[in-house]
Amino acid sequence: GAVVSQHPSWVICKSGTSVKIECRSLDFQATTMFWYRQFPKQSLMLMATSNEGSKATYEQGVEKDKFLINHASLTLSTLTVTSAHPEDSSFYICSATTSYQQYFGPGTRLTVT
């Protein structure tokens, strides 16, 4: 079956630093990947849609200059949280689409101290 990986699985960083999260489709090519964020006891909220070779589309309220998305190949999308602050601490999950459905990565737990 389709497998999506994320790296790292968890990361702790200091306030003001930047963190990069990778999302890879391991056995299929994905022209579209999605990035979601989940706060404690909340559901997943879509942050942005990442399309290979073009700029990402951000949801309302998501700062594109703070959450940089790059989808350089059909199997890799990256999310960089720039100048992270404690309020950015969250669980970040990516998904990659086939023509049939979305497949989700295992998530990345980000803690900003």
Q: Least distance (Å) from another protein to the CB of residue 39?
A: 11
Q: Least distance (Å) from another protein to the CB of residue 104?
A: 4
Q: Least distance (Å) from another protein to the CB of residue 72?
A: 19
β partners of residue 94 = 35
59 vs 63 by CB, closer to another protein: 59
The H or E element that residue 70 is part of is strand 67-73
86 vs 100 by CB, closer to another protein: 100
* Residue 61, number of CB atoms within 10 A of its CB: 7
Positions in the binding site for another protein (CB under 8 A)? 6, 31-32, 34, 36, 42-46, 49, 91, 93, 95, 97-107, 109
Q: Measuring CA to CA, which residue among 111, 54, 44, 43 is closest to residue 77?
A: 54
**What are the helix and strand counts (H, E) for the chain?**
0, 11
36 vs 67 by CB, closer to another protein: 36
